[in-house]
Structure 1
Amino acid sequence: MAPAISLTDLVSALPNDESWGPPVSAETMVDGVPYAPYSKGDKLGRMADWNTEGKDRERGRAGFQRGYRDQQVYGAGSGSLFAVQVAEDESSFSVVDNSRTSTKTRGFGRGGGTVFRGRGQRGGAAARGRGAFQRVGGRQQGGDRYSDNRGGRGGRGRRFGWRDYDKPQRTRDSSVQIKPEWQMLEEIDFNRLTKLNLETPDGEDLDGYGFLYYYDRNYDKQPGAKTAEKKLNIVDRAAYNVTTSSDPVIQELADRNEATIFATDQILSMLMCAPRSVYSWDMVVQRQGNKIFLDKRDGSSLDMISVNENAADAPLETSEGNKDSLNNPGALSLEATFINHNFANQTVIENDAQKVQMAHENPFYSPSEESEPAASKAYKYRRFDLSLEKDEEPLNLIVRTELDAVMKNNISGEDQFVTIHALNEFDNKAQGSSGALDWRTKLASQRGAVVATEMKNNSCKLARWTAQSILAKADVMKIGFVSRANPRSNDRHVILGVVGYKPREFASQMNLNISNGWGIVRTIADMCLKMPEGKYVLVKDPNKPVLRLYDVPLNTFEEEVEEKETVEEEEEEEE
């Protein structure tokens, strides 16, 4: 029988340059046995895994990884064998918290510390099969596989993008048909427009036309009160919205070379507030010599007033599945335009003995041809200087602005110019209302909340009204609250109240930067001045925040007008 070989002799027989580990010496020997922290219960695993720590840190849940569930740390069982006995008495100490402590990493990926308790998310109550599921309205329900908690993140608020997949895809039509012969010249993103800025001094008045009645202060009662409610009447008055190039006053000013750019306040305000627009719109830009005319075509959407254009849940088109014909965008726009026309005429005191007459008569009204009296309207033609220091010649703009009424100042007694507009409520429970409050119950007690909601849902419309008031240098802007007498009928309305604002202060409340609007106007003007004479069309993309400038033939839109006039003449002959 061969003699037994001890472990010490076997280790000492191996050369150090071929062995693994530290050299054997007396210092590493305990009773003739090499010292090493090991136990018989240890399992052999990887000798060295440099990726383990990185994987654990990345995944944040290595203890639950399938490939590591049976792995043990090498040397874990040696603590009890080589523990040092402390001589001090520790019997007086006790562990207060004996729960397991672990370091949690906060993350948003798979296995992160933050758990999304949404629909079908891993780690949520639905995956573990325990707990109740909270639905909208606070009802509890168990046994469902999926949670219908639309608040997201444990019901603590809506998560961005939650259930966006089942929202209807909005594919709106363009306000004008883009024809094949049109050539696209420029494409401008709204992000570029919002960064523009041009400090422009206050404009100067060139001339005034028309007349103004005094505003009826009886409408300034506390909004929402029963005494403030009045029926909205149909007041037929002749009002005009003539395009720029057809205005005889602007044509005369252009012949005298008073400015380079000419526009109306409705067209100019749309351009200044373009980054707030959602619906498609278009305007015609005519370059004649060294002059630019910002025009609108017949039937343009610039003449209409939108409703809840900026709402998160805007009214649906009929093509998008909206079966309610009263509350689609087109019907609501017609209703809002009708309300504004009648509201402005009803809230003034028609007294010919007490009215403010401008220097000239209304340039568009002809008593011999009109069967209706002229509406209370004053047209002020004002000039603004858009020049820069580097410009060799001044760049001026003339705009035709409109005023609706005049009122006495309570302190000084002087006349103040007023613009009048109306917000309308169709049905706060219908699709498209986008969380609007009930005006009849909330307007008196929560007027600030109602106005804030309208600023959010109708940002573009209110910004345009404010810009028009500032362009006209109006002292007061009156905004009425008009609601349907019956939510299912759009032909009868009730005035719930009127609120007055100073245009500049209202602009700061809704974060409207007029200097940014002037920067947009100057940029578009520079773009068109670099191009040859001709006709151009500026179109807002119906589904993207983009403006596109097209070069179009000179007879564009003129053929449509001629065809329309021919059809009307034929219909009159048949009658």
Structure 2
Amino acid sequence: MASLSSLIQSVVDNETGGFGPSPSHLPVQFADIPYAPFSKNDKLGRVVDWNQEGAGTSSGGPTGGAGASGPAAGGAGQQRGGNKYGREPKEAFGAASAGTFAYFHDEDEASFSVVAGGASAKKPGQGQGGGLAARQGNRQGQQGGRPGQNRPFQPGQRGAQGAQGQQGRPQQGQQGGRYQNNGRQQNGRWNNWGKDARVREPSVQVQSDWVPLEDIEFSRLAKLRLEVDVDEAQTLSNHGFLYEYDRTYDKVNTKNDKPLQVVDRVRYNPTTSDDPIMQEYAAKDKARVFVTDSILSMLMTAQRSVYPWDIVITRDGDKLFIDKRDGGPFACPSVPPADYPSVNENAADPPLENDKDTLNSPSALSLEATYINQNFAFQVVREDASARHELEHPNPFYQADMETEPLASCAFRYRKFDLSITEEEEVHLVVRTEVDAFTQPAQGSANAGSDEPSLITIKTLNEWDSRAQGSGGAPDWRTKLDSQRGAVVATEMKNNSSKLARWALQSVLAGAEQMKMGYVSRANPRDSSRHTILGTQWYKPREFLAQMNVNLANGWGIVRTIVDLCFKQPEGKFVLMRDPMNPVIKLYRVPMDAFEQGDDLLDESVLASAAASDNGI
């Protein structure tokens, strides 16, 4: 009691003239207790708000005092961060004048944790059984791989949308970076609804004595441009003969279809080094680079390819010969070669090589597409003397005394392209191109009124089974081709972007005015030996390239870059190959005797299946 009376007396007799006890009159037990002003109107509120957000309870305040921590400090923290309902807290009486006592803890209380012995209660929306929040999180997380899109998994990638969608995914069930979402992603691999990631074998095995020289990513290939415009090609010579296209096939449709016939004709496609005309032009120094149109078109559209491929480049002095590899067409049974058109190569879910469905495997579909292309081109021309156009030189590969079958309609045009950037370093290419038939000049065309026929190329698109795996969402041609041809063509452009771009480029390189496209389907989806012609369509090659967003300057830039890389190396042999799993092309130096034992590279089973399927190919 005496202590209380002395404290009151010290308040009354304060020498400083202010309100509060004088430090000189304070008892020892009250010396370190801070004093803050108060108001009689203040009401005692909640000491702890358990529903307060974490941002507001992270630090203590003056109400908690010097020893306040944990939940007891939540009231002061609520003054800083506000409460969960968004209302601003009332300012305490005298807080403006008591800044000395407005002390906040500096240590990070996130290091403290509560250890609970019992199972924690789940909030609504957590776990597998979830509620609305869980369902919304699942829907957001599925944006990176919606089942209707069938996006293939890229190893090491998750996709921007899928990673962003993980923010709304429930966190229950994650163990060591693994989670399950209806079987979509497990152990870091995109499962594509239970399907394994595609593992493709290279078209040729890299040997230990191969020297890597350059790796070029597809992103770099897409940016290449030739600094100068490639002028119109100079035609050096024309060889062979052509038949006229039969116009009656323009009237074919799904209601007036025609069966595809098997026509036995001989057609040649030798590689560059085996061409005697190429050897003659090389001896006369007509150019520095020699290549065929099929190989050149593959280089110009390399970034569109999905299946692996390889070509052989030989430098002999200042000459460069670009060839297809001996034994290359059957080096890998699951990969269509350069001369064999692929089927749905660019589809989101391309055909899968397996033992259960050998009818629709990539290799079987490639052989079927080759069979259809050749027989369709042989069938739609008029083979009579009045419809035959002889060129100035005969076919350089046909030997009448040794061949038992007649020669097919085909013209080889050797054309020269100038890729020179400066006059000091000239780079010319001689390209062997092919055309399939001719038509009489139409009214209003460039050749109207002249005796020169209009050259055309003939290609086909084939339908095999619109409901099978790998069809790429193609519609049924028998019901949609006549009424919705635009949708059919758009789907084919998406699923066969690489093949169609190459065909259009070959037509441009050959100087063909038009490209005839045939639509051929199986008579029965489970029988690959009988086919039906459902329709035809005309295309102008340059307009077709514009529709597919193919840039000729980019293609010539790719060719010039590869040529320059080879000319920087000493004489020898090189291999340019597309990596089977990554979007990159690789250049290797190989021994000069590489691939001479081509028979060792052939697959006996593939050769046997090819021979069994060789119906006029």
TM bracket, shorter-chain basis: 0.7 to 0.9
Counterpart of 2:349? 313
1:445 shift after superposition: 1.2
Q: Is the 8 A contact 1:41 1:77 kept in 2?
A: no
Question: 2:126–2:134: 8 Å Cα contact kept in structure 1?
Answer: no
Instruction: Give 1:39's aligned residue.
Output: 43
Query: Residue 248 of structure 1 corresponds to which residue in structure 2?
Result: 276
Are 1:555 and 2:584 an aligned pair?
no
The Cα shift of 1:505 comes to: 0.3
How far apart in 2 are the matches of 1:69 and 1:368? 106
Partner residue, 2:231: 201
Match of 2:400 among 353, 367, 370: 367
Q: Take 1:123 and 1:539, find their aligned partners in 2: how far apart are those partners?
A: 51
Letter in 2 for 1:215: Y
Deviations 1:367-410 (A, max 9, x none): 11111111100010000000013x51321000000000111233
Residue 253 of structure 1, CA deviation: 0.5
- Tell me how far apart the structure 1 counterparts of residues 587 and 57 of structure 2 sit (CA, whole Å): 54
Cα distance change, pair 55–422 in 1 and its aligned pair in 2 (3 A): farther
- Equivalent residue for 2:208, pick from 166, 171, 180: 180
Q: What's the secondary structure of 1:324's corresponding residue?
A: coil
Q: Deviations over 1:55-80 (max 9, x none)?
A: 99xxxxxxxxxx88994534989869
Residue 571 of structure 2, aligned match among 520, 533, 555: 533
- Out of 273, 281, 285, which is 1:257 matched to? 285
Deviation at 1:37, TM superposition (A): 8.1
Number of residue pairs the alignment of both structures matches:
488
Alpha-carbon distance between aligned partners in 1 of 2:22 and 2:394, rounded to the nearest angstrom: 118
Q: Using the alignment, how far apart are the partners of 1:512 and 1:174 within structure 2?
A: 26
For residue 557 of structure 1, report the CA deviation from its aligned partner: 1.4
Question: Cα distance 1:534–1:122, how it changes in 2: closer, same or farther (>3 A)?
Answer: farther
Counterpart of 1:235 in structure 2 is 263
Identity of aligned residues (%): 49
Hey, what does 1:285 align to over in structure 2? 313
Distance 1:77 1:351, change over 3 A: closer
Q: Are residues 554 and 52 of structure 1, via their aligned partners in 2, closer, same or farther at CA, if it must alter by over 3 Å?
A: same
Match of 2:442 among 389, 402, 410: 410
Alignment partner, residue 21 of structure 2: 13
Map 1:314-329 onto structure 2 (within 5 A): 314-318=350-354, 323-329=356-362
Alignment deviations for residues 159-206 of structure 1 (CA, whole Å, 9 cap, x no partner) = 955833333111111111222222211111111111101131221111
> How many Å separate the matches in 2 of 1:267 and 1:78?
76
Please state how far the C-alpha of 1:81 moved relative to its aligned partner. 12
Q: Deviations over 1:214-273 (max 9, x none)?
A: 1111122264x311x110111111000010011011100000000000000011111111
Q: Does 1:510 align with 2:542?
A: no
Q: Indicate conservation of the 8 Å contact 2:460/2:519, yes or no.
A: yes
Contact 1:211 1:361 in 2 (8 A): yes
2:611 is matched with which residue? none
Q: Among residues 558, 571, 580, which one is paired with 1:542 in the alignment? A: 580
Query: Could you tell me which amino acid in structure 2 is paired with residue 337 of structure 1?
Result: T
1:435/1:359 CA distance change after superposition, 3 Å: same
Matches within 5 A, 1:68-467: 71-72=74-75, 73-74=78-79, 123=125, 127-129=129-131, 163=184, 164-165=190-191, 166-198=194-226, 199-221=229-251, 223=253, 225-227=254-256, 229-300=257-328, 301-318=337-354, 323-389=356-422, 391-411=423-443, 412=448, 415-467=453-505
Separation in structure 2 between the aligned mates of residue 7 and residue 350 of structure 1, nearest angstrom: 131
Corresponding residue SS for 1:172: coil
Asked if the contact 2:47–2:72 (Cα under 8 Å) also holds between the matched residues in 1, the reply is: no
Question: What is the CA-CA distance between 1:6 and the residue it aligns to?
Answer: 6.5
- Kindly tell me: are residues 352 and 9 of structure 1, through their superposed partners in 2, closer, same or farther at Cα, counting changes over 3 Å? farther
Q: Which residues of 2 match residues 486-497 of structure 1 at below 5 A?
A: 486-497=524-535
Cα deviation, 1:114-135, whole Å, max 9, x if unaligned, reads: xxxxxxx99489654369989x
Residue type of the alignment partner of 1:173? E
- Seen in structure 2, the aligned counterparts of structure 1 residues 156 and 290 have a Cα distance that, compared at 3 Å, is closer
Q: Which residue of 1 aligns with 2:110?
A: none
Rounded to whole Å, the distance in 2 between the matches of 1:410 and 1:511 is 28
Question: C-alpha offsets along residues 308-364 of structure 1, whole Å, 9 cap, x if unaligned?
Answer: 11111011112xxx5101011111111111111111111111112222211101111
Q: 1:155, 1:280 → 2: CA distance?
A: 28
Instruction: Give the distance between the partners of 1:375 and 1:478, measured in 2 at CA.
Output: 17
Contact 2:48–2:71 under 8 Å retained in 1: no
Structure 2 Cα separation of the partners of residues 285 and 241 of structure 1: 18
Taking the aligned partners of 1:359 and 1:352, their CA distance within structure 2 comes to 17
Distance 1:18 1:424, change over 3 A: same
Query: Separation in 1 of the partners of 2:57 and 2:237?
Result: 77
Aligned residues of 1:535 and 1:551 also touching (Cα < 8 A):
yes
Query: For 1:175, what is the secondary structure of its paired residue?
Result: coil
CA contact (8 A) 2:420 2:427 kept: yes
Which residue of the partner structure matches residue 111 of structure 1?
A: none
Cα distance change of structure 1 residues 177 and 512 upon mapping to structure 2, 3 Å threshold? same
Distance in 2 separating the partners of 1:244 and 1:546: 25
Query: Which amino acid in 2 is paired with 1:370?
Result: E
Mapped contact 2:57–2:73 kept (Cα < 8 A): no
* 1:3-52 deviation digits (Å, cap 9, x = unpaired): 56669949611569999798x7xxxxxxxxx4498430142699xx9993
Output the CA distance in 1 between the equivalents of 2:57 and 2:74: 16
Distance 1:511 1:21, change over 3 A: farther
The secondary structure found in structure 1 opposite 2:231 is: coil
3-state secondary structure, aligned to 2:268: coil
Are the counterparts in 2 of residues 267 and 302 from structure 1 also a CA contact under 8 Å? yes
**Separation (CA, whole Å) in 2 of partners of 1:358 and 1:154:** 56
The offset of 1:522, in angstroms, is: 0.3
Structure 2: 5+ residue stretches without partners: 13-18, 25-30, 60-69, 94-122, 150-158, 163-180, 185-189, 329-336, 608-617
Seen in structure 2, the aligned counterparts of structure 1 residues 535 and 52 have a Cα distance that, compared at 3 Å, is same
Q: Normalising to structure 1: TM-score of the pair?
A: 0.76
Look up the SS of the partner of 1:191 in the other structure: helix
